[in-house]
Amino acid sequence: MNATTRRTVLVTGSTSGIGEATAAAFARDGAEVIVNGRDPGRTKAAAERILAAAGNGEVRAVAADVSTAEGVRALTDAVPDVDVLVNNAAIFDARPAFEITDEEWSRYFETNVLSGIRLTRHYAPGMVRRGWGRVVFISSESAINTPKEMIHYGATKTTQLAVARGFALEVAGTGVTVNSVLPGPTLTPGVRVFIADRVGEGVPFEEAERRFIAEERPSSLLGRLIRPEEVASLVHYVGSDAASATTGAALRVDGGVVSSIVP
């Protein structure tokens, strides 16, 4: 990617896991990458790691909490325009269905859904004016396989699919695409903690991973957790020129967890 085609890419929640791997994939491609997280120190450290590994491109750290309207405004003030928006920021945890409070439902909706809506509402019109842009919502296989241990998470991920499809209809024919990517169980720092809690402390992680897949995600065709870089490869494609005919789609990178032959 030369200077005349360099594009600006914003990946929210990119201080670790899928977000960091995605930001790194675009940075290796020579893009100007905006790394985002809530904590300034972690955000700066992630940007430095990505820049060191990429060896080229430009990587900026912009700390802002996109789960709030104020945080989104702070981010868009610092970064007025982007060419590729990856809505990755999200939260998850296990909670019995009858114990999820109104406050938790609201917090999940604000973080997992409204953050992407607000950012897309800000950035997509500029993409339309320029005649090119990519918006990607990082959803989850939980969007179509609602997990009973975290229905609040699953519900927000289902909502993302409808939101992404709706925005894709709004920008139809403009050169801007909007898609969802649905990862399956992925080895991120948060998932590592989640699995340790589910399986029990003191179990070596390799064994905990095996048990978790075998007992709680037995439909996985990989038989293991997906790696963040494997998800990032699909996100990078969807955010590229090569994906010009892919829009309004829900694209699975779930390791076969969803027992379906169609997306």
Domain(s) labelled CATH 3.40.50.720 in the chain stretch across 8-186+226-253
Local structure of residue 158 (DSSP, 8 states): H
Local structure of residue 227 (DSSP, 8 states): P
Task: Compute how many other C-beta atoms are within 10 angstroms of the C-beta atom of residue 199.
Answer: 18
Catalytic status, residue 237: no
Per-residue pLDDT for the chain (263 aa), expressed as one digit of tens each?
444 468 999 999 999 999 999 999 999 999 999 999 999 999 999 999 999 999 877 999 999 999 999 999 999 999 999 999 999 999 999 999 999 999 999 999 999 999 999 999 999 999 999 999 999 999 999 999 999 999 999 999 999 999 999 999 999 999 999 999 999 999 999 899 989 888 887 899 999 999 999 999 999 999 999 999 999 999 999 999 999 999 999 999 999 999 988 87
CB 27 within 8 A of CB 57: yes
Question: What is the dotted CATH code of the domain comprising 8-186+226-253?
Answer: 3.40.50.720
What's this model's pTM, rounded to 2 decimal places?
0.95
Q: Which of 108, 123, 153, 237 is catalytic?
A: 153
Copy the structure tokens of residue 194. 């989640």
CA dihedral 250→253→258→263, nearest 10 degrees, is 30
Q: How far apart, in whole angstroms, are the C-alpha atoms of residue 30 and residue 188?
A: 25
